[in-house]
Amino acid sequence: MAGYLVSDTRKVTTHRFMEMKQKGEKISMLTSYDFTTAGIVDAAGVDGILIGDSASNVMAGNTTTIPITIEQMIYHARSVTNAVKRALVVCDMPFGSYQADCSDGVRNAIRIMKESGCDALKLEGGVEILDTVRRILDAGIPVMGHLGLTPQSINKFGTYAVRAKEEQEADKLMSDAKALAEAGCFAIVLEKVPAKLAAMVTAEVPVPTIGIGAGGATDGQILVVADMLGMTKGFSPRFLRRYADLNSIMTDAIGNYVSDVKSSDFPNESESY
Ligand SMILES: Nc1nc(=O)c2c([nH]1)NC[C@@H]1CN(c3ccc(C(=O)N[C@@H](CCC(=O)O)C(=O)O)cc3)CN21
Ligand SMILES: CC(C)C(=O)C(=O)O
Ligand SMILES: [Mg+2]
């Protein structure tokens, strides 16, 4: 019941992520959006926790990450930081909070840091957002990049298909990764790109790469916690490994509760005052 045995219980830092790459120690990350889940995820030994804007899908039932607001992200992120003792906590900057202009981006980044208590922020995109990334870094806020499938741009691309299969897009991804690393990002998420390309980026950039659907050569992996626990039905991309079937476990437990209430089995005398 102890989860993965963590030998080093100190709070994980962005510097530690860099050290782990240098030592070849793989980095494990999961998302969380609430206090109760984040407490379990942290205690089980994950190195990093992302408050993903996938909360828009997983928590709120929207079909994309587009509608989630800064206020909603801060609410989720505060709930997570209230629980986490060890993992590095990274918060997604939501769509609209950094794309319009640099100053907006920096102000929103500062606000999320102040109000959520998280350790770092993640922004989607490459050279298009490089000035904003630099300014946020200048403000003393660690930034994680995110390249490949960037769900905040779904309306531009139209599909969630694998990215950077063609040479031109692969070249752009490589130069984006190098630019983000050079600007000072402490890590880069690579989402749904060919394993070969992710391996090349991982070899060429000095900062850790965290993959989701990017093969086994990245410095770390990330999954959406509700997906890997088998709570989300109807989301089955090939990169997803299900480590539990919580959907069945919850359905059975809730069905038993309903039966017990209907049959007046619950509550019994020892459960009453
Ligand atoms: N529950 C959940 N898990 C995620 O990993 C996640 C979210 N939500 N929401 C935000 C983004 C969107 N993500 C996605 C969305 C779709 C695919 C995907 O592979 N979809 C289809 C294929 C689509 C296509 O080829 O056009 C699939 O095979 O399931 C992958 C990642 C990752 N993120
Ligand atoms: C899938 C990860 C990388 C993410 O950005 C999210 O959960 O929002
Ligand atoms: Mg995200």
pLDDT value, residue 7: 86
Angle at 220 between CA 73 and CA 186, to 5 degrees: 65
127-168, pLDDT tens digit by residue? 999 999 999 999 999 999 999 999 999 999 999 999 999 999
- pLDDT value at position 267? 98
Q: Do 236 and 269 sit in the same domain of this protein?
A: no
Contact predicate 18/208, CB 8 Å: yes
Q: Does residue 232 share a domain with residue 171?
A: yes
Measured from the Cβ of residue 28, the count of other Cβ atoms closer than 10 Å reads 18
**Rounded (10°) angle between helices 102-116 and 70-81:** 30
Number of domains in the chain: 2
Nearest ligand 2 atom to alpha carbon 223:
1
User: Does the C-beta of 94 come closer than 6 Å to ligand 2?
Assistant: no
Asked if residue 185 and residue 135 are part of one domain, the reply reads: yes
**Both 33 and 93 in a single domain?**
yes
Query: Ligand 3 centre from 73 Cα, in Å?
Result: 11
Q: Is 8 annotated as a binding residue?
A: no
Domain contains 222: yes
Residues 90 and 84: beta-carbon distance below 8 Å:
no
Question: Alpha-carbon distance 109 to 221, whole Å?
Answer: 25
pLDDT at 110 > cutoff 80 = yes
Indicate the pTM of the whole model. 0.97
Of 157, 160, 191, the one to substitute when testing ligand 1's pocket (max ligand atoms within 8 A of C-beta) is 160
67 assigned to some structural domain: yes
Query: Which residues have any ligand 1 atom within 6 Å of their CB?
Result: 54, 57-58, 65, 149, 151, 159-161, 192, 224, 227, 232, 235-237
Alpha helix stretches (DSSP H) within the chain:
14-23, 35-43, 55-58, 70-81, 102-116, 130-138, 154-157, 167-183, 195-204, 225-228, 246-262
Answer yes or no: 71 catalytic.
no
Catalytic residue among 25, 71, 191, 204: 191
CATH value at residue 201: 3.20.20.60
The pLDDT value recorded for residue 3 is 77
Distance 256 CA to ligand 3 centre (A): 36
Q: What is the rounded distance in angstroms from the CA atom of residue 179 to the CA atom of residue 217?
A: 20
> What's the complex ipTM?
0.96
Q: Residue 251: give the domain boundaries.
A: 246-273
